[in-house]
Structure 1
Amino acid sequence: MALLPRLRRLLGRPVPASRVGARRPGATRHGDVPQEDALRSRLGDDPNDEQAFAALAEIVRRHAVTGSDDDPLTAEADDAERQRAADLAVWSLGEELAGNPRAWYPLVEVARLSVRDDLEGTLRRLTTAAERDPSGRALVAGLRLLREAGLPVEALGLGTGHWHPRDHDPEAGRELVLAAVEADRPLDAKQHLASLDLYPDQASIAQLRRELTRLVEHANRPTTA
């Protein structure tokens, strides 16, 4: 089940998406409004500003958890409900910012929230993020997210169709080699390592290649009974 309806159901009351993450009545008292406006302005200029997104996400999380003086969530919610409300607030923020056709980082953050409940949606968001970013940073983030979630095969599927070793951040190559080793596919690991030959600045990735070469050699050693 997708996270958004699941969170709404678990919260036990409707949470309109248009209001999640919006300024709450207590925001002005705490001085959040000027900071929130400044962060939204930064994200309007660069929707992939990771520091600005993290700071704004912290604000909307706090609003979702503390609420206003008459918000029943403040008085009655347990820790799990508060966490779900906070996650839903960040989900809504990420979806809002992802409407910018240049945005890839918000898609990765929404994918992070959905990876346990909606793998199909997660992969769709990570694919879109990778397609929006010519530098390869989005691909690196998506591959790492999937690996950390224990999904190396899915990481390989994402990377195989979207990694451009000549143009992308070489960290994408690292993530693919690691995913191949974790998926017990040593031949794939060797192939992805060899693809780093296409990167134009070989001197800058010399240390990376040495590290990955040792890893691939170890992965290709026959195991003894």
Structure 2
Amino acid sequence: MALLPRLRQLMRRPSSASRVGARRPTKASRRGDTLHEDALRSMLSDDPNNERAFQALAEIVRRRATEQVHEEDPLTAPNVEHERERAAELAVWALGEELAGNPRAWYPLIELARLSVDDDHDGTIRRLTTASERDSSGTALAQALALLCEAGQPVEALNLGVGHWRPREHDPAVARQLVRAAVQAGRPLEAKQHLASLDLYPDQGAVAGLRAELTREVARAEQSITGT
């Protein structure tokens, strides 16, 4: 079952149902995990876009969720590994939604989009758009474009990038993702236009290597289309 329908199904269950991702009572938690989790949550409270802290905390809630799926449970025994995987995803989803409530948070939205990209197109684009708008550096936008391209949606990546990229201000990594999205979409001319926008970046020395790299990629794309 896809993640979002599964999440909605769990939300409709009576309150006595499994609470994946919820913290166990302290007496049932391993002390090391509890202390580590508290430290990670404190770090994420200060910086909700701390990727390493998010991933470490996600691993804790993921492990806890899988431990709550028992093989002897007659409802899950026939497909216990699948249920554990889903429980882990739902736990990370709950964590992402919790942290995304911070108006400064963009990375949790990227992770939510990663979980929803296969079964909630509109929601994914909405989350990636919000993430891009919350981050003035362009890092969120670059990650959003990469996520869409990895999911086989380069046109959606181009639409998002064109609407939000600020070549003078943003991390040049956005240019890399836009050029690659255009190449993946079979639009080498558009790729060249995005490549040319690197001329607007204030520190031209810093993007010289990137420009050369992308120029080669665009040239290969043009050759593959013309067959020369």
Partner of 1:129: 131
CA distance in 2, matches of 1:28, 1:209: 51
The 10-residue stretch of structure 1 (82-91 or 22-31) with the greater mean CA deviation from structure 2: 22-31
CA distance in 2, matches of 1:183, 1:34: 47
Is contact 2:4-2:119 (8 Å) kept? no
User: What TM-score comes out, normalization by structure 2 length?
Assistant: 0.88
- Tell me the CA shift for residue 21 of structure 1: 1.8
**What are the Cα deviations for residues 52-80 of structure 1, in whole angstroms up to 9, with x where unaligned?**
000100010011110288x9499735111
Is contact 1:2-1:121 (8 Å) kept? no
The 10-residue stretch of structure 1 (212-221 or 164-173) with the greater mean CA deviation from structure 2: 212-221
Identity of aligned residues (%): 66
Partner of 1:208: 210
CA distance in 2, matches of 1:57, 1:85: 12
Partner of 1:48: 49
Secondary structure, aligned partner of 1:103: coil
- Out of 68, 77, 80, the residue aligned to residue 78 of structure 1 is 80
Which runs of 4 or more aligned residues in structure 1 lie more than 6 Å from their structure 2 counterparts after TM superposition? Answer: 15-18
User: What TM-score comes out, normalization by structure 1 length?
Assistant: 0.90
CA distance in 2, matches of 1:7, 1:37: 26
Q: How does 1:162-201 map to 2 (within 5 A)?
A: 162-201=164-203
Partner of 2:95: 93
Partner of 2:5: 5
CA distance in 2, matches of 1:40, 1:215: 41
Amino acid at match of 2:160: L
Is contact 1:103-1:129 (8 Å) kept? yes
CA-atom RMSD in angstroms: 2.9
Say whether residues 1:144 and 2:131 are aligned partners: no
Partner of 1:107: 109
CA, structure 1 residues 198+154, in 2 after alignment: closer, same or farther (shift >3 Å)?
same
Partner of 1:158: 160
**What are the Cα deviations for residues 67-113 of structure 1, in whole angstroms up to 9, with x where unaligned?**
288x9499735111110110000001000100000000000000000
Secondary structure, aligned partner of 1:78: helix
Partner of 1:14: 13
Amino acid at match of 1:206: A
Partner of 1:23: 23
Is contact 2:138-2:165 (8 Å) kept? yes
The 10-residue stretch of structure 1 (22-31 or 99-108) with the greater mean CA deviation from structure 2: 22-31
Is contact 1:173-1:192 (8 Å) kept? yes
Is contact 2:69-2:84 (8 Å) kept? no
